[in-house]
Amino acid sequence: MGLFDFLFGKKAPGAAKAANRGSGANPVRVNVEKRFELSGRTGQGSMSKVYRAYDRELGRNICLKLLDKEKTKKFEERFKGLKKPSEGEICLNLRHDNIVRTFEYGLTTNGEPYLVLEWVDGNGLNYLVETKSSQLNGNRIDYMCQLCDAIQYMHDNKWLHRDLCTRNVMVTTDGVLKLIDFGLAIPYTPAFTVGGNRTGTADILAPEIIKRKPTDHRVDLFAAGVTAFEVFTGQQPWERTASSEENFRRRLNTPPRDPRDLKPGLGDDLADVLLKSIAREAADRYPTATAFRAALSKVKKQDY
């Protein structure tokens, strides 16, 4: 099903049959306790809780995401009249090796939106960075190239993620990167990219978002640049303070820290790539995720 099918209400052939085999929009409200055996919470966001679970109906381990119905409704109201697809509709439309697979979405008997996702055997990229995991050693460029592939796929299919950060990336034990959490994702169309929406993780908001200007795909590229900076240096480009507004002012008015000062031994060519990816002006960044990937691939030292 394509973007405009979602936006204008067309239904994919066989959608009802798909729901019955655990793939698609489920028209029947689900009793979580009866269908799923929860084995522990694996994460929590501002609008959702995520659990590892066994799906008795599908007979497999899955990841169950339960959305807060009031917070989700409040977020969706920001796009009132624009026919914004739900997170479930967006996720079901994404098919890429570096994007977590969504099998089903719908409502619980309590009225909560839910998603049934593939279970990813691995850790969050944020965990790997914070613990200085040896899994990162020699793999940093490869992981960022995989992330660029996922981003380019989304942009090619007219979606913006809008919340790219280390917290929203998983890395499997086999080294496969998986982009997750599409709660803030929007269609990449003029109606959805007008200025004003500052929703998102504060650390990765592009300057044009902070200034409430119209946006495009380069907000995701800026966020990917911040993510890359953190992966290679272990720190954010701008030193944090307790004040979000002060952090925003710094991002708008001061240059980022030099990654070479934070990570001795980091090459000049990689430093140039990282700094270009988080340029204040969108026109000074890489034009596409593919271009960002190409620049990373050309870095002389590949085993960071």
Q: Is the pLDDT of residue 304 over 60?
A: yes
Higher pLDDT, residue 5 or 72: 72
Burial environment of residue 131 by CB neighbours within 10 A (0 to 12, 13 to 18, 19 or more): exposed
Which of the four pLDDT bands, split at 50, 70 and 90, describes residue 46? Answer: confident
| pLDDT above 70: percentage of residues in the chain | 92
The domains of the chain, with CATH numbers, are 3-118 (3.30.200.20), 122-297 (1.10.510.10)
pLDDT value, residue 113: 96
Q: In whole numbers, what is the pLDDT of the chain averaged over residues? A: 91
Picking from 236, 292, 282, the residue whose alpha carbon sits closest to that of residue 259 is 236
Q: From CA 83, how far away is CA 150, in angstroms rounded?
A: 25
Q: Which residue has the higher pLDDT, 283 or 47?
A: 283
- % residues pLDDT > 90 (the chain): 81
Residue 184 has pLDDT above 80, yes or no: yes
Q: Per the structure block, which two tokens stand in for 16? A: 């009802």
Q: Supply the pTM of this predicted model.
A: 0.89
pLDDT digits 0-9 by tens, 272-297: 999 999 999 999 999 999 999 999 99
Confidence of residue 248 (pLDDT cuts 50, 70, 90): very high
- Please give the single-letter amino acid code of residue 1: M
CA 232 to CA 113: how far, in whole Å? Answer: 36
Look at residue 24 in the predicted model and tell me its pLDDT: 87
**Those residues with Cβ within 8 angstroms of residue 124's Cβ, 6 or more apart along the chain or in another chain:** 43, 166, 167, 169, 170, 171
Which of 24-28, 228-232, 258-262, 268-272 is the least confident region?
24-28
Instruction: Kindly state the average pLDDT of the residues 99-107.
Output: 97
Mean pLDDT of 58-84: 91
Nearest Cα neighbor of 66 from 81, 83, 86, 51 is 51
Q: In whole angstroms, give the CA distance from residue 171 to residue 174.
A: 8
Alpha helices in the chain (DSSP H): 3-8, 15-20, 32-35, 69-76, 87-92, 125-130, 140-156, 207-210, 218-233, 244-253, 259-262, 268-277, 289-297
Q: Give the pair of three-digit tokens for residue 177.
A: 């990167």
| Contact criterion met (CB below 8 Å) for 142 and 175 | yes
